[in-house]
């Protein structure tokens, strides 16, 4: 029986994952490093490494902590003690709010830029000036003007999400085959109907690719933004656990961040495949 490529890939991934966990657990259970007969400076370095390894949690410890979190993810015991489900929910809410606000601005504006050479020449200098600015550089200004940490975080997500969507939309609209536009003109189709019936279906895969890039960047930025503003969210959770010197909870949070980020990415990847037409 010949296994399909996806099945073989899944099996190899599982084996690799098991080997990595085994090596991790073995490295932590190896005990202290003997420093007898070593140079004093080198012995001190080896001792620090051994001490660090002994305090790093292993996979079994992290698995127990993961189970503790997922068994009661939505508890609320006060401002600094909330379940990881609540923290992820706050972060996801901010990301989606900023992301969809960016989509409402970037996609229509991208259509205008892609369909109008004049609009492209007018707006391109502003796009090239603002696009390279780190989203977190806007955070102090947002906090000063908006005076609300949640709204400021959403604004930062909006800023980081808008550029990939805007650039991809403008590029995809401008790249639609001229023959298709000419057919629409021949049929005396209005500009609005042409945009919805001809250009949008042709440009949809590239637009969704831009949205996929944006959601990945947004999920990266929200963690750093929440570390700065505090309060709630998975970024604040990581920073709070660092202040509590809980390396185990930090690693658990990193795993949950990766899993949810992968879910968001794969959701948009599936949508992209749904609107991609084979020629």
Number of residues written out for the chain: 279
Best mean pLDDT range from 41-45, 79-83, 204-208 = 204-208
Concatenating the DSSP letter of every residue in 2-50 gives PPPHHHHHHHHHHHHHHHHHHHHHHHHTS-PPP-TTS-HHHHHHHHHHH
Of 96, 102, 212, nearest to 160 by C-alpha is: 102
- Mean pLDDT along residues 236-244: 89
C-alpha of 246 from chain center: 24
- Taking the C-alpha atoms of residue 133 and residue 118, their distance in angstroms, rounded to an integer, is 25
- Yes or no: say if 237 and 84 are a contact pair by the CB < 8 Å rule: yes
33 has a pLDDT exceeding 50: no
Q: What is the pTM of this model?
A: 0.82
- Mean pLDDT along residues 63-80: 87
Domain 51-274 sits in CATH at 1.10.3720.10
Neighbours of 268 (CB within 10 A): 18
Q: Which of 37-41, 44-48, 151-155, 270-274 has the lowest mean pLDDT?
A: 44-48
44 has a pLDDT exceeding 60: no
- Yes or no: say if 233 and 94 are a contact pair by the CB < 8 Å rule: yes
Q: What is the pLDDT of residues 121-159, one digit of tens each?
A: 999 999 999 999 988 899 889 888 988 888 999 999 999
If you compute the radius of gyration of the chain from its CA atoms, what whole number of angstroms results? 25
**Percent of the chain scored above 70 by pLDDT?**
89
Question: How confident is the prediction for the chain on average, in pLDDT?
Answer: 84
Q: In the chain, how long is the greatest CA-to-CA distance?
A: 90
Of 191, 183, 218, nearest to 114 by C-alpha is: 191
Confidence tier at 41 by pLDDT (50, 70, 90):
low
pLDDT given for residue 32 in this prediction: 46
174 has a pLDDT exceeding 70: yes
Q: State whether residue 52 is helix, strand or coil.
A: helix
Confidence tier at 49 by pLDDT (50, 70, 90):
very low
- Taking the C-alpha atoms of residue 122 and residue 113, their distance in angstroms, rounded to an integer, is 9
C-alpha of 257 from chain center: 8
Confidence tier at 198 by pLDDT (50, 70, 90):
confident
- Mean pLDDT along residues 206-220: 93
Confidence tier at 278 by pLDDT (50, 70, 90):
low
């Amino acid at each position: 029986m010949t296994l399909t490529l996806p099945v073989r890939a899944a099996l190899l991934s599982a084996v690799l994952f098991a080997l990595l966990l085994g090596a991790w657990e073995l490295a932590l259970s190896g005990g202290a490093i003997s420093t007898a007969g070593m140079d004093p400076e080198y012995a001190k370095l080896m001792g620090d490494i051994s001490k660090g390894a002994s305090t790093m949690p292993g996979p079994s410890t992290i698995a127990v902590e993961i189970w503790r979190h997922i068994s009661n993810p939505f508890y609320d015991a006060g401002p600094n003690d909330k379940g990881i489900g609540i923290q992820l929910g706050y972060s996801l809410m901010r990301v989606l709010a900023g992301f969809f606000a960016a989509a409402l601005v970037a996609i229509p504006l991208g259509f205008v830029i892609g369909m109008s050479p004049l609009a492209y020449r007018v707006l391109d200098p502003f796009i090239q000036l603002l696009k390279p600015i780190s989203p977190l550089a806007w955070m102090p200004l947002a906090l000063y003007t908006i005076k609300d940490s949640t709204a400021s975080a959403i604004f930062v997500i909006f800023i980081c999400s808008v550029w990939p969507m805007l650039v991809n939309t403008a590029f995809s609209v401008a790249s639609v085959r001229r023959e298709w536009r000419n057919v629409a003109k021949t049929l005396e189709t209005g500009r609005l109907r042409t945009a919805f019936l001809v250009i949008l279906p042709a440009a949809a895969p590239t637009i969704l690719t831009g949205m996929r890039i944006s959601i990945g960047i947004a999920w990266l930025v929200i963690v750093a933004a929440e570390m700065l503003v505090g309060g709630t969210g998975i970024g604040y959770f990581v920073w709070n656990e660092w202040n509590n010197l809980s390396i185990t909870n930090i690693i658990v949070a990193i795993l949950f961040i990766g899993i949810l980020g992968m879910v968001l990415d794969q959701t948009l990847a599936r949508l992209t495949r749904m609107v991609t037409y084979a020629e």
